[in-house]
Amino acid sequence: MGNESDIFDVIVVGAGPVGLQAAGRTVRGGLSTAVIERRLAGGECHYYGCIPSKAMLLPVEIADEVNRMPGLALRGSIDAPAVFERRDNFVFHHDDAPIVDEVTRFPATFVRGEGRLAGPLRAEVSENGSVRSLQARHAIVLATGSDPYIPDIPGLREARPWTNREATSAEQAPRRLAVIGGGPVACEMAQALHSLGAEETTMLVARERLLPKTEPFAGELVAKSFQEAGIDVRFGRFVTNVERPVPAGPVTIHIDDGSQLQADELLVGTGREPVVHNIGLETIDLEAEGSIEVDPTMRATGVPDGWLYAIGDVNGRNQLTHMGKYQARVCGDVIVARAKGQPDSAPAMRDIADDIGAPQAIFTDPQVLAVGRTEEKARADGFNVRAVEYDVGDVIGAKLQGNGYTGRAKAVVDEDRRTLIGFTLVGPAVVDHLHAATIAVTAQVPLESLWHAIPAFPTASEFWLSLLEAYGL
């Protein structure tokens, strides 16, 4: 059974923001907890995703805002080295000591190494040739996250393309940048690196628009902004093969229309895949293929005695950091309640929040915010839908933010219940408007009640009133 020091109430595999949230929740509930991490404590989001990308994008956004304001035009280019230095400070220069210290202050036990399941309620941690065995009394939580997906294109892997990891840790922008993909990572990093020094940026987008999971106008407004900034966006284009004979040399990208593209770096932003290989799923008769299926309490299905949980990207429900952290809070509370023989204490609305109420913010300029269903998804799900749109730039509070302010808001209404089931907002610096929409969708607030939530004048938030008036209230 091992030493008493190697027995814990809960073992969490993965010390990203999701795993750390779960560990903090179980410790708060009085359960001893061990956290295993093979890379940097803090995870992908802190070092290679959300945090560094926003540190790179925010100065770009502020510069664009300044240039829209008469009397404040930015003189010269952005100081890219200063931006990269500030980003490095936010990611602790890739030193996870501050986060490891935070884990020990929970208090939880931090275990460095390659963690994997070793049977029911058992885990093994490998590091430097040694193996440490751990046992859990109540639960093991898998929070192993996801890795960038690299398409099966001849020569692509051999060309050592950039993913979000290399893009967010680059010391300078390449002079010529090619990007495969049109989703959030591809869009954010294309704009950031172009604004921070890439002289030629080309996006190769297989579909006919950017951000295909959002309302169509969102991708259209972002594409227009990109093209005005000098980013070459090519729609309906597929990469057939890639060549890079010299490891640090230029990349030749062959495109399906017969053309070729030369670049100094090639960034792949085509999605992510859950980390399920080499984590010991075979030791408990689960297949390491695709996401780990879970029930609404994040308990993995098909595992006898229900001791295994999977949260965040690895369960495939929502590949968004904030949604993974929400799942972690649900999971942690459930584990504590079950360990104490109490009824589950997870929030009653967890299915609504995790399924149809997940907010998303894409930090391009303009920013794209969305929560709930698109109009197309709502109709496909069988709702009696009415959708209304409004040009945010017509609101005086938005006009005051700068010349040429362009934005659009869309509300998707369930006519039978007269509640908001989807919302999209596109515009410069609008990210802080998202939570109001998230509350409206998740809490299923009737439109008549929203009518009495009065926006302050003169603020851009008056678009809410304009949307409701467009609906007919």
Residues 38 and 140 reside in one and the same domain: yes
Tally DSSP H helices, then E strands, for the chain. Answer: 15, 21
Q: Are residues 119 and 169 in the same domain?
A: no
* Domain that includes residue 242, residue range: 157-270
pLDDT of residue 352: 53
- The verdict on 294 and 227 lying in the same domain is no
- Number of domains into which the chain is organized: 3
DSSP 292-321: PPB-TT-BBTT-GGG-EEE-GGGGSS---H
Asked whether residue 309 falls in the same domain as residue 332, the answer is yes
CB 260 within 8 A of CB 237: no
Q: What is the pLDDT of residue 342?
A: 86
Q: Are residues 13 and 122 in the same domain?
A: yes
Do 16 and 142 fall into the same domain?
yes
In angstroms, the Cα distances linking 252 to 160, 163, 221 are 12, 17, 30
pLDDT of residue 169: 97
d(CA 157, CA 107): 41
Report d(CA 335, CA 327) in Å as an integer. 12
Q: Are residues 379 and 316 part of one domain?
A: no
For residue 266, the tally of other CB atoms under 10 A from its CB is 26
The answer to whether the CB of 134 falls within 8 A of the CB of 6 is yes
Residue 409 lies in a domain: yes
d(CA 317, CA 227): 33
331 & 444 share domain:
no
> In this structure, what CATH number is given to the domain that contains residue 139?
3.50.50.60
Per DSSP, the residues of 63-82 read HHHHHHSTT-PPPS---HHH
Instruction: List the CATH number of the domain containing 458.
Output: 3.30.390.30
Distances (CA, A) of 440 to 115, 377, 420, 472: 40, 18, 7, 18
Peptide bond into 184 cis (omega under 30): no
Q: Rg of the chain's alpha carbons, rounded to an integer?
A: 24
Residue 221 is assigned to a structural domain of this protein: yes
If phi > 0 it is left, if psi is from -120 to 50 it is alpha, else beta; for residue 385 that is beta
Q: Note whether 21 and 96 are within 8 A (CB).
A: no
Q: What is the pLDDT along the chain (473 residues), one digit of tens a residue?
A: 445 569 999 999 999 999 999 999 999 999 999 999 999 999 999 999 999 999 999 999 999 889 888 888 776 679 999 999 999 999 999 999 999 999 999 999 999 999 999 999 999 999 989 999 999 999 999 999 999 999 999 999 999 999 999 999 999 999 999 999 999 999 999 999 999 999 999 999 999 999 999 999 999 999 999 999 999 999 999 999 999 999 989 999 999 999 999 999 999 999 999 999 999 999 999 999 999 999 989 999 999 999 999 999 999 998 999 999 999 999 999 999 999 998 765 554 455 566 678 899 999 999 999 999 999 999 999 999 999 999 999 999 999 998 989 999 999 999 999 999 999 999 999 999 999 999 999 999 999 999 999 999 999 999 999 999 999 98
Last residue of a domain, one of 352, 375, 402: 352
Q: Are residues 430 and 297 part of one domain?
A: no
The pTM (predicted TM-score) of the whole model is 0.94
3-state secondary structure of 7: strand
Same domain, 133 and 31: yes
- Residue whose token pair is 């309490």: 297
Listed residues 242, 270, 298: the one ending a domain:
270
What is the per-residue pLDDT for 68?
A: 87
Q: Which helix (H) or strand (E) holds 38?
A: none
Domain boundary among 247, 270, 293: 270
Residues 247 and 279 in one domain: no
* 367 contacts: CB under 8 Å, gap ≥ 6: 61, 361, 426, 427, 428, 429, 430, 431
Residue 242 and residue 301 in one domain: no
Helix-strand-coil split of the chain, %, nearest 5: 35, 25, 40
Residue 179 makes CB contacts below 8 A (sequence gap 6+) with 186, 189, 190, 201, 202, 203, 204, 266, 267, 268, 269
Give the strand pairing for 176-180 and 200-205.
Answer: parallel
